Chain A
Amino acid sequence: MIIACGGIKGGVGKTTIATNLAIIRAATGSDVLLVDADDQETSSDFTIVRNETLADKGGAGYTSVKLHGAAVRSDTLKLSSKYSDIIIDVGGRDTAGQRAALSVADVYIVPFLPASFDVWSLEKVSTLVQEAIAFNPELKAYCLLNRADAQGKDNEEAIEIANDIKGLAYLKASLGNRKAFRSASAQGLAVTELKPFDPKAVAEITVLYESIFSISN
């Protein structure tokens, strides 16, 4: 299964979601490839930290490569037979890499924050997805709320707008604005591996993981 974690807005948690999914999937015994298609190369940096953190335990547990531009499509296609699952972390702009990921992904997930600028960008992503479907008819595209507020109406308002966007289904698997995600990332860990254990964060990422990996099954 090829999952692209994308969108054209930066700083919405794409890398956090991509790395958490890669680690949780790899922990089930799946051979996972994490493709870093973001020129900021944050998921590659994350993998370096993870390899250091887990040096005594065999390292990251997944394979990581950097790909850019059209190679995101061509090389992912070449590597797809060698890995059970490929997770592509795409930079937050409408780049050739973003489009290449859209052209090969089975599932495309777009995180957004409960803020106007974020939901506005979903309209543009929706147009991009509709163009991509012409070349990748099996593509399934979803958006999900990330760093949801603990209280207030912003979450509901953002979800309401996201629900109206065509071609980008709203996935009921929100992640809260929790320090555990940031603490885990800083150590090269998934939130499921973090100590002390944050049950709410783990429950949220588990729902997201199960939602995504049940899409094609």
Chain B
Amino acid sequence: MPVKKKPIASTVDEFIGQGGLPPADIHTESTTAKEKALKLRLDESLLKEIDEIINSKRPSPSRHHWIVSAIVEKLDREKLKAYQSDI
């Protein structure tokens, strides 16, 4: 049957489990199989510097996107350095 009634909880644990997570929990658990969430601790002044750069760009990227791009750039540089030292 393609259309079913909303399932009714049969135990109190099921009933509780049908409630959503608060936004903070959703944020920390929003990972896919290929992603892993981690906490990043930054000095406030460094964060301010990052935000200033982000806000100066048009269109401005998200803070997350900018930090990921910075990590990728750093990884590329490290790989290039390793390659150059091998040859």
- A-to-B contact residues, CB < 8 Å: 39, 68-70, 73, 91, 93-100, 103, 131-132, 134-135
The reply to whether B21 and A96 form a contact with Cβ atoms under 8 Å apart is: yes
Cβ of B16 within 8 Å of any chain A Cβ, yes or no, is yes
A93-B15 contact in complex given A39-B25, A131-B8, A131-B9, C-beta closer than 8 Å: no
The reply to whether B23 and A131 form a contact with Cβ atoms under 8 Å apart is: no
B20 CB contacts on chain A under 8 angstroms: 93-96
A70-B25 contact in complex given A131-B8, A131-B9, C-beta closer than 8 Å: no
A99-B18 contact in complex given A73-B12, A131-B8, C-beta closer than 8 Å: yes
- In the complex the two chains form, what is the Cα distance from A96 to B21 in whole Å? 7
The reply to whether B25 and A99 form a contact with Cβ atoms under 8 Å apart is: no
A103-B16 contact in complex given A131-B8, A131-B9, C-beta closer than 8 Å: yes
B24 CB contacts on chain A under 8 angstroms: 39
Least CB distance, A168 to chain B, in whole angstroms: 18
Interface size for chain B: under 10, 10 to 19, 20 to 34, or 35 or more residues?
10 to 19
Q: Which of B20-47 contact A (CB under 8 A)?
A: 20-25
B49 CB contacts on chain A under 8 angstroms: none
- In the complex the two chains form, what is the Cα distance from A96 to B20 in whole Å? 6
Interface residue from A73, A91, A93 paired with B16 (Cβ < 8 Å): A73
Least CB distance, A196 to chain B, in whole angstroms: 37
Nearest 8 Cβ contacts at the A-B interface: A39-B22, A96-B19, A99-B19, A135-B12, A99-B16, A95-B19, A100-B16, A96-B16
- In the complex the two chains form, what is the Cα distance from A97 to B9 in whole Å? 16
The reply to whether A68 and B15 form a contact with Cβ atoms under 8 Å apart is: no
B52 CB contacts on chain A under 8 angstroms: none
Least CB distance, B32 to chain A, in whole angstroms: 22
Least CB distance, A125 to chain B, in whole angstroms: 13
The reply to whether A135 and B15 form a contact with Cβ atoms under 8 Å apart is: yes
- In the complex the two chains form, what is the Cα distance from A82 to B81 in whole Å? 65
Least CB distance, B64 to chain A, in whole angstroms: 21
Contact with A along B3-18 (1 / 0, CB 8 A): 0000011011101111
A97 CB contacts on chain B under 8 angstroms: 19, 22
- In the complex the two chains form, what is the Cα distance from A44 to B15 in whole Å? 27
- In the complex the two chains form, what is the Cα distance from A99 to B18 in whole Å? 8
- In the complex the two chains form, what is the Cα distance from A131 to B12 in whole Å? 10
Can you list 18 A-B pairs, Cβ within 8 angstroms, ordered by A? Answer: A39-B24, A68-B22, A69-B21, A70-B16, A70-B17, A73-B12, A91-B22, A93-B22, A94-B19, A95-B20, A95-B22, A96-B20, A99-B15, A99-B16, A99-B19, A103-B15, A131-B9, A135-B11
Least CB distance, B84 to chain A, in whole angstroms: 50
Contact with A along B30-74 (1 / 0, CB 8 A): 000000000000000000000000000000000000000000000
